[in-house]
Structure 1
Amino acid sequence: MNKAIEKVIEECGSRDILAKACGVSNATVGNWLKGQGINGKHIKAISDATGGKVSTDEILQSLTED
């Protein structure tokens, strides 16, 4: 599980809210949560969805963690 995405979902309130904020499907958010990769064009939108509470750096770092 991607801990940063878990934190983002918690901050947003739900996967659906995050998906809408980023213009992706709920299934895509589920894939992010499973660690199946995040397209770079979504990194800022993900951070913005939390009002910056989860930084782009934190999201990027989570992509390299096991």
Structure 2
Amino acid sequence: MNAVIKRAIEIVGSQSELARRVGTGQPSISKWLNGSEISARFIPSIVMATDGKVSASELLNSIAKAKY
């Protein structure tokens, strides 16, 4: 489980709300939460959706940890 995405979901209230704010579908959020790689193009949107409470570096680190 990606703890950073989990925190982003908690900040905005739901997977569906994060998906709406980021410009993707809820199934993508679920996949990210469960370890699928997050496309770099979504990172700025996730940061904005959480009002900076989730940083780009946190997201990048979570992606790197998932790979190894």
The structure 1 segments of at least 4 consecutive aligned residues displaced by more than 4 Å after TM superposition are none
Q: Distance in 2 between matches of 1:64 and 1:56?
A: 12
Matches within 5 A, 1:1-66: 1-66=1-66
TM-score of the superposed pair, with normalisation by structure 2? 0.93
Q: Distance in 2 between matches of 1:36 and 1:54?
A: 18
TM-score of the superposed pair, with normalisation by structure 1? 0.95
Identify unmatched segments of 5+ residues in structure 1. Answer: none
Aligned length: 66
Identify unmatched segments of 5+ residues in structure 2. Answer: none
Query: How much does 1:29 deviate?
Result: 0.3
Query: How much does 1:47 deviate?
Result: 1.0
Q: Which one has a larger percent helix, Structure 1 or Structure 2?
A: 2
Query: How much does 1:64 deviate?
Result: 1.3
